[in-house]
């Protein structure tokens, strides 16, 4: 039996908009326009990468990025301790979407465990994604609470995912 996925700080109490068992949690926030995710696993797998990107593709198809110039993206990957061979390449491949919809992104952040050896691997992957998507440089950080506060991003209303999906 799979263990129940739990949101961790600073996302405790955020409503569940998208939950992918293979990855974790994904939210969209209308004001100021943000996509936020939190990985719930200690191993980054190709299946997890695909699950996250399936949701990102849905968010793009719903027109969220087109409606929110300068969208902020925050991925909380502080739990990740190991990366499956091929996961970084799968991330870069899925990020290189036709039409480069991620060019509309303002700022992207990846929160990783401070002092983690994974930091260097993730930074290399972030550079590959930046080159593939044309989006601005991805900032590797220690704590997702910092960009949340800096951009005024708060938990979305409980029913906001219904409005976003109904567009």
What CATH number corresponds to the domain at position 29?
3.30.750.24
* Higher per-residue confidence, 14 vs 81: 14
CA angle 59, 65, 69 (to 5 degrees): 160
* Strand 34-39 to 24-29 pairing: antiparallel
Lookup result for tokens 């999906």: 165
Give the model's confidence band at 132: pLDDT under 50 very low, under 70 low, under 90 confident, else very high.
Answer: low
| pLDDT of 116 above 80 | no
Say if 75 falls within a structural domain: yes
Say if 85 falls within a structural domain: yes
- Per the structure, the complete domain to which residue 60 belongs is given by 19-151
CA angle 74, 62, 27 (to 5 degrees): 30
Question: Looking at residue 1, what is its pLDDT?
Answer: 43
Q: Cα separation of 7 and 13, whole Å? A: 8
Question: Looking at residue 24, what is its pLDDT?
Answer: 96
Give the model's confidence band at 158: pLDDT under 50 very low, under 70 low, under 90 confident, else very high.
Answer: confident
Instruction: Single out the residue of 87, 86, 163, 101 nearest to residue 132, CA to CA.
Output: 101
How large is the average pLDDT for residues 131-156? 86
Say if 3 falls within a structural domain: no
Say if 70 falls within a structural domain: yes
Range picked from 38-52, 81-95, 111-125 for highest mean pLDDT? 38-52
Instruction: Single out the residue of 19, 38, 57, 157 nearest to residue 109, CA to CA.
Output: 38
pTM for the predicted model, two decimal places: 0.87
């Amino acid at each position: 039996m799979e263990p129940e996925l739990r949101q961790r700080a600073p996302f405790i109490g955020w409503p569940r908009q998208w939950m992918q068992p293979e990855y974790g949690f994904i939210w969209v926030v209308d004001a100021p326009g943000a996509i936020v995710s939190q990985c719930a696993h200690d191993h980054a797998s190709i299946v997890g990468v695909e699950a996250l990107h399936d949701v990102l593709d849905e968010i793009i198809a719903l027109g969220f990025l087109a409606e929110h110039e300068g969208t902020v993206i925050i991925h909380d990957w502080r739990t990740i301790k190991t990366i499956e061979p091929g996961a970084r390449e799968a991330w870069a491949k899925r990020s290189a979407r036709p039409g480069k919809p991620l060019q509309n992104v303002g700022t992207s952040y990846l929160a990783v465990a401070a002092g983690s050896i994974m930091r260097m691997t993730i930074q290399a992957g972030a550079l590959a994604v930046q080159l593939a998507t044309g989006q601005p440089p991805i900032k590797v950080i220690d704590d997702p609470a910092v960009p949340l506060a800096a951009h005024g991003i708060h938990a979305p209303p409980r029913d906001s995912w219904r409005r976003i999906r109904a567009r």
